[in-house]
Structure 1
């Protein structure tokens, strides 16, 4: 029982770190990446679909993306979706090809994005601590129901704390790597 609780907690903590990585991919750095536009939804015949399902996205150089919709009549909808997104970029259209030029980040904008990255890291740490709390609660329930001894409960809580510390270090590493990527000119 205790091993199941610890394994579940460890898996959930790892998922939290993966979710953080996925979230931080959307934070714009100085380089162009197709991940910047993955979350954009395009209105395609009345339903919102991901941009990748209606167009091909390619990185042409370090500061620009090229979006080629598969159907000519959807170019306007793709432009509208990009303008309505939180990217703050203006699409340049020539025929059926849409270009997104990413301006260089100012020092002020880099600091703002760094704060966003730190905030996401803190949110992930809170989620990890909640997982620890849930796991410790399950161990206490087992102790209360007399399915485990006090020594086993104490050892289990120590192990869960070690898992938590490891996960928090993982979050710090992910945040630090993203911040270095942001600050690189």
Structure 2
């Protein structure tokens, strides 16, 4: 039998793990419960990229969703040697970008593709870069898409710091309801 870790307690664990992994970054971690489930939203500006934060935070998700069957299933983990189900079905990571970081990404794209002008952060925020193509070598991607790709990779760290809190969690698997769930379990294990 598994122990249920409440959504609030799951948020506390995530907050601690992020603090350990990304020293100096201010994260806002909010839990939300509603009929049919619960989730946690993590917000921050600049710093580590979304993939780096997800590598720490997503291990605390208590569910998966199989869109082919419109099914939400349970995942299970070991926390300090005890089988648990985390109270937040899903953990969402939402990174914001400062004008300074957007400007760096715009300059990088302009350099990389030999653009005659350097787009501005204001152009990016207003959506004007989604109508402009840098060159034929961008395979149909607009300048806005290229800047967004650059921002997604951009990080102030080369790697994620060690987190004792996240290391306490070992993914065990899921309820095995669907093929998608089985494949997800194999990929994480």
TM over 0.5: no
Higher CA-based Rg: 1
Larger helix proportion of the pair = 1
Larger strand proportion of the pair = 2
Superposition TM-score, scaled by structure 1 size? 0.24
